[in-house]
């Protein structure tokens, strides 16, 4: 037996695991080089495009419009701090003045960020330098959106007008393990989308489709739909989007890629596989330590905590990580409450599921709750998620919620919202593990992910 320390919100919780249990965590590896040198290499030799300075020098005189869009401040600080100064320096050196540059936070349906948040993320000098040209994307601002038609999948392409009509669009993003594509990247598709542009790839028939419920980016349906949207955006512009995407770990930037989205994928994914994919065996019980906050806010929100335990179940390659009818345990101190000021629509969506116990019924409620004018107004006023947002979480969690025979939240405070979500609450991780072994057998194969949300996320080669 071995005792393992699990993340449990604001504290750590020890759990003694039986012999044969597998503990999987991210293992640090050396960076490919120094962060500044990696950024310089990427910008001076982009994959499939001329160097940034050359791209900027070819822009039309007298009316250059450059947009630098970036993953919103929920994403790693190290990326924007390493990349943005180098991008701005090359633009200025090519004769593009600050007055021709607009910075757009690609929030998607995430909250808009305050000036203080931008100062902390971009740096106070950048905020002072660009002032009102640092903008939040608003997926409901019809005057600031342009419709580009639809993809071959029928997904509507509705995108930020400033980005589409710019002479040069640079997107600063990240390559990280993510159920939304296997790896993140090509952030313009989601971060700059209008509200009509989400339903296809973010709904049950996109992210929730069985062909999206695994971790292989090469074969994932969601990734193909995302690429189709990116192609429509590129065709609508005078030149392709220049993506600059970094890999990070807890120490900072470990690699940087720049170029077209297709060329970055070909170069970045093998390196990401090397760093972030771990071998595993199929499990009867998966135990996930939950950090105080991740992805979409605090783990006190039960739907966010539930997403935290369902998320790694989808990141398998070869075979599913969790056997059908297995048990998932989340180790947490979650209070099981929703802050309606920051997450409007969440309680309403959870209540719909609690009554219907049907993912189809919940999805059909999306247009009513997601389109509620009062809830949308909270998003538009700033600091709140869009009320459509919880419906995307149900679409991504459906796989884990239906594959697992039980989902146990160890250490959470009992409450009605857990019951509506179909989760069981246990007093301690030891109690939860005893319940799980009672359901699947004392000889259950266990995979433990004690630091899944406090260290870089990993995916699983299962066999």
Mean pLDDT, residues 223-243 taken together: 96
Residue 72 has pLDDT above 80, yes or no: yes
How long is the chain? 463
Q: How confident is the model at residue 105 (pLDDT cuts 50, 70, 90)?
A: very high
Rounded Cα gap, residues 455 and 463, in angstroms: 24
Q: Given this model, what pLDDT does residue 250 score?
A: 84
Rounded Cα gap, residues 130 and 70, in angstroms: 15
Yes or no: say if 261 and 243 are a contact pair by the CB < 8 Å rule: yes
Rounded Cα gap, residues 368 and 375, in angstroms: 11
Q: Model confidence over 123-139: pLDDT tens digits?
A: 999 999 999 999 999 99
Q: Given this model, what pLDDT does residue 1 score?
A: 82
Distances (CA, A) of 306 to 24, 207, 338, 359, 393: 20, 17, 13, 15, 9
Q: How confident is the model at residue 213 (pLDDT cuts 50, 70, 90)?
A: very high
Rounded Cα gap, residues 187 and 456, in angstroms: 19
Q: Spell out the alpha helix ranges (H) of 168-327.
A: 188-191, 199-202, 221-235, 261-276, 302-310
Q: What is the CATH number of domain 35-274?
A: 3.40.50.11440
Superfamily of domain 2-27+281-462: LarA, C-terminal domain (3.90.226.30)
What percent of the chain has a predicted confidence (pLDDT) above 70?
A: 100
Yes or no: say if 136 and 122 are a contact pair by the CB < 8 Å rule: no
237 token code pair: 């512009």
Stretch (H or E) spanning 169: strand 168-174
Reported pTM: 0.97
Beta bridge mates, 461 = 279, 317
Q: 421: which residues sit within 8 A by CB, 6+ positions away?
A: 302, 303, 306, 350, 353, 354
460 token code pair: 């699983």
Rounded Cα gap, residues 96 and 117, in angstroms: 26
Listed by start position, the domains of the chain span 2-27+281-462, 35-274
The angle formed by the CA atoms of residues 257, 261 and 264, to the nearest 5 degrees, is 35
Mean pLDDT, residues 313-324 taken together: 98
């Amino acid at each position: 037996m071995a005792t393992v320390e699990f993340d449990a919100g604001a504290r750590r919780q020890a759990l003694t695991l039986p012999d044969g249990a597998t503990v999987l965590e991210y293992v640090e590896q050396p960076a490919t080089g120094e962060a500044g040198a990696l950024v310089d290499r990427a910008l001076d030799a982009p994959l499939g495009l001329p160097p940034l300075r050359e791209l900027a020098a070819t822009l039309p005189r007298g009316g250059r419009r450059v947009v630098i869009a970036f993953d919103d401040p929920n994403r790693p600080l190290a990326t924007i701090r390493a990349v943005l100064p180098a991008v701005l320096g090359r633009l200025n050196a090519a004769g593009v003045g600050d007055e021709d540059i607009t910075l757009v936070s690609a929030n998607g349906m995430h909250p808009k960020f305050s000036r203080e948040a931008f100062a902390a993320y971009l740096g106070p000098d950048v905020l002072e330098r660009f002032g009102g040209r640092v903008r939040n994307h608003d997926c409901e601002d019809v005057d600031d959106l342009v419709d580009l038609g639809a993809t071959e999948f029928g997904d509507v392409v509705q995108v930020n007008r400033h980005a589409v009509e710019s002479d040069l669009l640079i997107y600063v993003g990240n390559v990280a393990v993510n159920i939304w594509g296997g790896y993140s990247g090509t952030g313009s598709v989601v971060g700059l989308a209008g509200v009509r542009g989400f339903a296809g790839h973010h709904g049950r028939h996109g992210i929730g489709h069985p062909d999206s419920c695994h971790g292989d980016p090469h074969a994932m349906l969601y990734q193909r739909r995302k690429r189709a949207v990116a192609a429509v955006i590129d065709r609508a512009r005078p030149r392709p989007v220049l993506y600059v995407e970094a890999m990070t770990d807890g120490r900072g930037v470990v690699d940087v890629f720049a170029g077209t989205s297709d060329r970055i994928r070909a170069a970045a994914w093998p390196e990401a596989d090397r760093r972030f994919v771990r071998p595993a065996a199929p499990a009867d019980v998966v135990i996930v330590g939950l950090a105080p906050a991740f992805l979409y806010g605090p783990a006190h929100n039960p739907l966010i905590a539930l997403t935290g335990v369902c998320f790694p179940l989808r990141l398998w390659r070869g075979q599913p990580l969790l056997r059908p009818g297995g048990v998932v345990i989340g180790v947490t101190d979650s209070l099981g409450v929703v802050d309606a000021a920051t997450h409007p629509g969440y309680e309403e969506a959870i209540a719909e599921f609690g009554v219907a116990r049907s993912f189809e019924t919940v999805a059909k409620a999306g247009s009513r709750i997601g389109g509620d004018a009062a809830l949308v107004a909270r998003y538009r006023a700033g600091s709140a998620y869009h009320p459509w947002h919880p419906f995307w979480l149900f679409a991504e969690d459906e796989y884990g919620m239906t594959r697992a025979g039980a989902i146990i939240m160890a250490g959470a405070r009992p409450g009605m919202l857990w019951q509506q979500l179909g989760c069981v609450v246990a007093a301690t991780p030891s109690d939860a593990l005893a319940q799980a072994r009672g359901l699947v057998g004392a000889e259950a194969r266990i995979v433990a992910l004690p630091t899944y949300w406090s260290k870089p996320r990993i995916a699983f080669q299962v066999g």
